[in-house]
Structure 1
Amino acid sequence: MGNLCIETAQSLQELVAKTASTSTTLVRPRLYRRGFVHEILDTVVLIGTIYALVNLVSARFIVQGPSMEPNFSTGQFLIVSRINYLVAQPQRGDIIVFHYPGNPQEDYIKRVIGLPADVVAIREGRVYVNDVELDEPYINEPCDLNHCQDGHWVLGVDQFFVMGDNRNHSSDSRAFGPIERRYIVGEALIRYWPPSAWDVVAQIGYTNPSLP
């Protein structure tokens, strides 16, 4: 009887040991799977955060229409900086993307011609800012009188006069007037598609000494 009890006790101990070993083996994969899922979730959160930050400081824009030819063509993709104009004013010559005042859901791309408090005039197809003719190396043909009728605009303290580089085929401030700063999305910085057109958007330095 004594031997039987001892053998039974030993058998129970072996059974408990095997059960504990089996339990440990079964638990480990669960801990591993939970850690792997957490890593996936952390990665997704990180990607989402980066994407949100990128969209906060920049936007993507697809050029539509011929209004900015020969410098920008339909189908080209641009990166637009939202942050530039949080710390500085748009400058003359900047390429900007803005919400069309007549339909804020629609975005336009144009060049800044007139700054707040400027007086912009068109006379015989030529553009004048504060009575100084604007030197415009970025246009490839003069504006004909049918599309550049004489006009005169006095800009407010928060207004900008914008025009397309393709003057004969652009709807801009000549048609809808100066735009307010609140409509401006940002400044075009990089053209990244198609790859053959990849480029940093050039900054214009005007040669007119009396213009900022």
Structure 2
Amino acid sequence: MTVAEKTEKKSGGIGEVISVIVQALILALLIRTFLFQPFSIPSGSMRPTLLEGDYLFVSKFSYGYSRYSFPFGPDLFEGRVWADAPERGDVVVFKLPSNPRLDYIKRVIGLPGDTVQIREGALMLNGEPVEREAVGTIDDVDITEQNRPVQVYRETLPNGVSYRTLDVTQGTVGDDTREFVVPEGHFFMLGDNRDNSADSRFNVGYVPHENLVGRANIIFFSIAGGASPLEIWRWPTELRFDRFFRSASR
């Protein structure tokens, strides 16, 4: 083999590697944009359902696509294409209406036209109390962020979706609200950690359909103690194996 042939073979090999890398990156971008996007839980507002350190997949196709389905939210079009509405009780990732650069994750409680209110800590939907049952307490700081037992309730929405909520402190400002009427094309969101959630009761407001990014599906990784997944040496003590491959909404 001549020097020229060796050089050509080497160049072809490098070019092939670069081509494979570029194709892999394009494929990953397409999957993230149109199918599934990984998401990490940034706060305790969805406790006990979701904990800080949970990593989950969000299905991008569940509600169709809007400008916020794409990285950086380019102003390509208005509204949604292949649009579908979330169901009551879905846990969704959405762009904060007042600052679309921020991702929030909450539970859909109110659909367009619904009235929503909290009275003495109990959820009212269209004038009727949502089924709410006290199911005991949780005394685990990793779940509640409290060094004491915390009361847990199970809510069951009219469509049968059931989940647990925390009542960390009674009589807080979020335990008694005005009646909210959800506008057309918007949704009312609540965190499951009712006393520690910035949601539609407060600064979040009603969330436009366009701002929905996707539905939370499944937890694929979870680590406690504020550890990064890259801190492999902390895995033996901090991994929450019991949370792997659990539903992200129940």
* TM superposition score category, shorter chain reference: 0.7 to 0.9
Q: Distance in 2 between matches of 1:193 and 1:109?
A: 17
Choose the corresponding residue for 1:54, options 21, 26, 31.
Answer: 31
Amino acid of the residue matched to residue 68 of structure 1? Answer: M
* Residue-by-residue CA offset, 1:68-125 (whole Å, 9 max, x unaligned): 1111111211221221110421111111111222322222111000111212122232
Deviations 1:31-73 (A, max 9, x none): 3223212311221121111111122123222212221111111
Q: Quote the residue 1:144 is aligned against.
A: 170
Find 2:60's aligned residue among 77, 82, 102: 82
- Which digits, 9 at most, give the CA deviation of each residue in 1:11-48, with x for residues without a partner? xxxxxxxxxxxxx6333213322321231122112111
- Tell me, in whole angstroms, the C-alpha distance in 1 between the residues paired with 2:98 and 2:183: 19
Alignment of 1:28-43 (within 5 A): 28-43=5-20
- Give the unaligned 5+ runs of structure 1: 1-23, 205-212
CA 1:65/1:203 → structure 2, altered by over 3 Å: closer, same or farther? closer
- The CA distance in 2 between the partners of 1:27 and 1:65, in whole Å, is 59
What is the number of residues matched between the two proteins? 181
Q: How does 1:21-170 map to 2 (within 5 A)?
A: 25-57=2-34, 58-86=36-64, 87=82, 88-135=84-131, 136=155, 137-142=162-167, 144-146=170-172, 147-170=174-197
Question: Is the 8 Å Cα contact of residues 94 and 112 (structure 1) preserved in structure 2?
Answer: yes
How far the C-alpha of 1:153 sits from its partner, in A, is 1.1
Cα contact 2:49–2:248 (8 A) shared by 1: no
Using the TM superposition, give the Cα deviation of residue 167 of structure 1 relative to its aligned residue in structure 2, in angstroms.
0.6
Q: C-alpha deviations, 1:166-191, integer Å up to 9, x for none?
A: 11111111113221112221111121
Q: Does 1:186 align with 2:214?
A: yes
CA distance in 2, matches of 1:26, 1:105: 54
Distance 1:45 1:120 in 2: 49
Indicate the SS of the match to 2:164.
Answer: coil
CA contact 1:110–1:172 (8 Å) conserved in 2 = yes
Residue 203 of structure 1: how far off its partner (Å): 5.5
> How big is the alpha-carbon RMSD for the aligned residues of Structure 1 and Structure 2?
2.1
Q: Which has the larger radius of gyration?
A: 1
| SS of residue paired to 2:175 | coil
Q: Contact conserved, 2:91 with 2:248, CA < 8 A, in 1?
A: no
Compare 150-159 and 28-37 and name the one that shifted more: 28-37
Q: If the length of structure 1 is used for normalisation, what is the TM-score?
A: 0.76
Distance 1:166 1:110 in 2: 10
Q: Secondary structure at the match of 1:139?
A: strand
**Matched-pair identity in %:** 33
Contact residue 95 and residue 102 of structure 2 kept, 8 A:
yes
Can you give the 5+ residue segments of structure 2 that lack an aligned partner in the other structure? 65-81, 132-154, 156-161, 223-238
Richer in helix (by share)? 1
3-state secondary structure, aligned to 2:46: coil
